[in-house]
Amino acid sequence: MHRLPVLLAVIIFGIVTASACRPVEPTPAAQWLEQSRASEPQRIAIPAVTAATITTDTITIPTYPFANFLFTDTNSIYNISYPVLHWANYHGSNPHPADKTYTRLTLENEWLRVSVLPQLGGRVYELIYKPTGNNELYRNAVIKPTNWGPPEQGWWLAAGGIEWCLPVEEHGYESAIPWAYAITHGADGITVTLRDSTQPDRLRAAVSVFLPNDRAVLIIRPRIENDRGTELDFKWWINALLAPGPGNSIGKAGTNPNDTDLRLVYPETQVTVHSTGDATLPQEGQTMSWPSYSGRDMSRLQNWKQWLGFFARPQASQDFVGVIDLAHREGVARIFPHEIATGSKGFAMGWQNPIGAGNWTDDDSYYMEVHGGLAPTFWDTAPIATHDSIEWEETWYPFSGLKDLTTANREAALHVERTGSALNVGVYSTQARHDTALTVWQRSTCAQVADFPITSIDPAAAQQFNVTTSIPLDDLAVIFHEKQVLLISYQGQDCVPPQTSLAVPANVMTSTSFPVVWSGIDFYTGIAAYDVQFKDGYWGAWTNWLTATTSISGAFDGVDGHTYFFRVRARDPVNNLSRYGPDDFGDAFTTVLLDPAAVLEVSYKEAPTFFRHGQPIPYSISVANSGNLTGNLYLTDTLPLSLTLISGTLTASVGSAAFDGYQILWTGSLTSGAEIDLHYALTPTAALSPFSPQTNLVTLTGGVLPVTRTATTTLAFMTYLPIILRTVP
In a domain, 422, yes or no: yes
pLDDT in tens, 309-359: 999 999 999 999 999 999 999 999 999 999 999 999 999 999 999 999 999
Asked whether residue 68 falls in the same domain as residue 152, the answer is yes
In the chain, what's the furthest Cα-to-Cα distance?
Answer: 112
pLDDT of residue 715: 87
Q: Would 19 be classed as within a structural domain?
A: no
Are residues 344 and 218 located together in one domain of the fold? yes
DSSP run (H or E) holding 88:
helix 87-92
**Over the stretch 87-144, which tens digit does the pLDDT of each residue have?**
999 999 999 999 999 999 999 999 999 999 999 999 999 999 999 999 999 999 999 9
Given this model, what pLDDT does residue 104 score?
98
Residue finishing a domain among 399, 417, 439: 399
Q: Are residues 210 and 315 in the same domain?
A: yes
Q: What's 632's domain CATH number?
A: 2.60.40.740
The enclosing domain of 91 has a CATH number of 2.70.98.10
**Residue 338 falls within a domain, yes or no?**
yes
In whole angstroms, give the CA distance from residue 620 to residue 643. Answer: 15
| Whole-number Cα distances in Å, 314 to 22, 256, 270, 341, 380 | 58, 34, 8, 13, 11
Same domain, 261 and 350: yes
Residue where a domain stops, chosen among 538, 559, 592: 592
Beta pairing, strands 448-457 & 463-468: unpaired
Residue 322 lies in a domain: yes
Domain of residue 476 covers 401-490
Are 384 and 224 within 8 A, CB to CB? yes
Query: Dihedral angle at the C-alpha atoms of 348, 352, 358, 364, nearest 10 degrees?
Result: 90
Write b or e for each residue in 103-142: b if 16 or more Cβ atoms lie within 10 A of its Cβ, otherwise e: ebbbbbbbbbbbbbbbbbbbbbbbbbbbbbebbbbbbbeb
405 shares a domain with 395 = no
Residue 583: predicted pLDDT: 84
Assess whether 172 and 310 both reside in one domain.
yes
Q: Is residue 29 part of a domain?
A: no
Count of structural domains, the chain: 4
Contact call for residues 480 and 456 (beta carbons, < 8 A): no
**The pLDDT value given to residue 725:** 55
pLDDT for res 47? 46
Whether 456 is in a domain gets the answer: yes
In a domain? residue 269 = yes
Per the DSSP assignment, residues forming a β-bridge with 589 are: 565
Which of 428, 460, 490 is a domain's end point?
A: 490
Same domain membership, residue 296 and residue 213: yes
Domain check: are 288 and 351 in the same one?
A: yes
Enumerate residue ranges in the chain where pLDDT < 50: 1-47, 728-729
Instruction: For residue 360, tell me if it sits in a domain.
Output: yes
Residues 96 and 209 both lie in one domain: yes
Domain containing residue 545: CATH number: 2.60.40.10
CA distance 14 to 715: 7
- Count other C-beta atoms under 10 Å from residue 3's C-beta: 8
Are both 395 and 406 inside the same structural domain? no
Are 437 and 353 contained in the same domain? no
Tell whether 513 and 448 lie within a shared domain.
no
